[in-house]
Amino acid sequence: MKLSTELRDFSKRIGYSFNAPELLIRSLTHASMSSPTRDNNERLEFLGDRVLGLVMAEALLSRDKRASEGQLAPQFNALVRKETCAEVAREFELGLVLKLGRSEMKSGGRRKDALLADAMEAVIAAVYQDGGFEPARALVLRLWGKRINEVEADARDAKTSLQEWAQARGQVAPEYIEIKREGPDHAPVFTIEARLKDGRRETAVAPSKRQAEQAAAKALLERVNE
């Protein structure tokens, strides 16, 4: 089986040449495009998630030989979460080669975090099945690059940190209020306000509610810690 020019270019971007090209094709095929004669990437995504987790756990242990489990866990979560996988996918233009059904195409599936993240994990699994663990490990370390070395010592997500800050001071959990939603359904933009019981608040704008909530929480954390 030969790969299309677009898929050959993608292989070059991620730095891996497939012995079994059908694995790459399957890893990039969303369920909306599957049929009795065409496999989708769901099973590969399941496997890739585990391969990614093992590689990241090893990398973090090697990076800091004195870090405790409590320090490593939030760093690990920051590196393997869906948003990070989607960011990596965008950097290597995975969306351009994602195979989607008509409904997902119309709803902007090539830009959706969930679809990009799942496909990125499926590509990792495809490399693992094609060449074994070492090529998959090398791929992850290459694609994640400086993220591994630059992950914050305390990488807990901002919402968790803000909630812990409030609870430590006897306050109820922060509120997150959707102020505005703009743009078409396939590319919405959310404005979210993070609000503490004492009245302090900050807003943020992002293409998903979760991202906007995290950004608003981060801004509010920085304000209360000034």
pLDDT averaged over every residue in the chain: 91
> Which residue is it, tokens 């050959």?
8
**Mean pLDDT, residues 71-98 taken together:** 92
Q: Which domains does the chain have, with CATH numbers?
A: 5-150 (1.10.1520.10), 158-224 (3.30.160.20)
State the pLDDT at residue 210. Answer: 83
pLDDT at 216 over 80: yes
* Least confident segment among 126-130, 143-147, 185-189, 206-210: 185-189
State the pLDDT at residue 153. Answer: 60
Predicted confidence band of residue 24 (pLDDT cuts 50, 70, 90) = very high
State the pLDDT at residue 70. Answer: 84
| pLDDT tens digits, one per residue of 53-77 | 999 999 999 998 998 898 898 899 8
Instruction: Answer with the residue of higher pLDDT: 86 or 1.
Output: 86
**Mean pLDDT, residues 88-100 taken together:** 94
Q: Would you call 177 helix, strand, or coil by DSSP?
A: strand
pLDDT at 219 over 60: yes
State the pLDDT at residue 156. Answer: 65
pLDDT at 10 over 60: yes
From 179, 148, 173, select the one nearest 159 (Cα to Cα). 173
Q: Return the DSSP state at 66.
A: T
State the pLDDT at residue 34. Answer: 67
Predicted confidence band of residue 1 (pLDDT cuts 50, 70, 90) = confident
| pLDDT tens digits, one per residue of 125-167 | 999 999 999 999 999 999 999 999 888 765 667 888 899 899 9
d(CA 58, CA 72): 11
The torsion angle over the Cα atoms of residues 136, 138, 140 and 143, rounded to 10 degrees, is: -130
State the pLDDT at residue 154. Answer: 55
Q: Return the DSSP state at 197.
A: T
State the pLDDT at residue 191. Answer: 96
- Per DSSP, the residues of 98-109 read -B--HHHHHTTG
**Mean pLDDT, residues 187-212 taken together:** 90
- Residues serving a catalytic function are 49, 121
Of the chain, the percentage scoring pLDDT greater than 90 comes to 62
